[in-house]
Amino acid sequence: MKSTLPIAHLLAGALLIFAAMGSVNVPRAVAQETASSEKTAATAKKDAEIPAETISAIGPMFDRIRQAKSTRAAVEITEETIVGGAVIGSKTATYQIASTAPQSFTVYYKSDQQRSRVYNNNDQATIAISPEAFCHLAKPNGMQDAVFGLPFPMGPYPEPVLALTLAGVDPALSLLNGMETVEIVDRSKFRGETPAIHFKGVQDDAVSWDLWVSAGDKPAPLRLLVDLTEMLRVNGSIELADDYQFVLRFDFKSWAIDLDNSEKLFVYPNLKNARQYDSLHAYFDAQKQTDP
């Protein structure tokens, strides 16, 4: 989940960005070029020297995602700014995601500031920038490519969520590659109710994450907690207080595989009052002209 250099600069100014415009898309593995897509969980293990016990525990869920014919998930996102242990700012948003291997998917992102959706199938990819604007892309996206970087900003850190929700992708490329450490924290029940395994990872770009996965023969993601604080601090473009934290919480409200997804999910429905733009650049240029 490494950020490219321009995104890292954006993240360094996250306090200003989030206040002014809401969310920022932060793809991690784009910087690793095409070679990343050739890596497997085995090579990720070698790179990070991840304990065999951890690989064995997280592997079954990764296998379910790689082998899935289809998926459907609803994820709630909470962005929290914390100072001195107290939450001084909090925003929520949601993802609704569906996919059918090998290339059909839709990602709907909804927050107070944004309602955007990506439609992708074998023939066409469309960005519903808002309910009032859309554009068709030059060609469809591959599913793994979409994990590494959506063509339009949709949420603050979408890669790990997409890696855990799109059918047929390899989650290890995002969650085990480029790591300093990945380990099992405990096997306590999630929220005191659901048998689970709690993993913790520290990336080589200073991002850390905690992932809770349900235990049993059908493992599924329950919660992903991503702490961007140290990456912001290491980047150094703005000064952060010692007791400052910026944390993202992704709660998987529903997650299912191998359902019968209608192909209509992946086709833009041509909303009656929506304006078509020739490209995303054309849309953003038009917005600049209308901004006061």
Confidence of residue 202 (pLDDT cuts 50, 70, 90): very high
Residue 107 pLDDT > 70, yes or no? yes
Instruction: Read off the pLDDT of each residue in 38-58 and give the average, rounded to a whole number.
Output: 69
Residue 278 pLDDT > 80, yes or no? yes
- The Cα–Cα gap between 103 and 98 comes to 11
Confidence of residue 254 (pLDDT cuts 50, 70, 90): very high
Give the pLDDT score at 47.
Answer: 56
Q: What is the pLDDT of residues 213-238, one digit of tens each?
A: 999 999 999 999 999 998 888 876 66
Residue 46 pLDDT > 80, yes or no? no
Give the pLDDT score at 288.
Answer: 84
Instruction: Read off the pLDDT of each residue in 60-69 and give the average, rounded to a whole number.
Output: 98
- The Cα–Cα gap between 228 and 212 comes to 18
**Could you tell me the domains of the chain?**
5-290 (2.50.20.10)
Q: Is the peptide bond before 102 cis (omega within 30 degrees of 0)?
A: yes
Biggest distance spanned by C-alpha atoms of the chain: 57
* Through-space distance between the first and last CA atoms of the chain, rounded to whole angstroms: 36
Which one has a higher pLDDT value, 169 or 6? 169
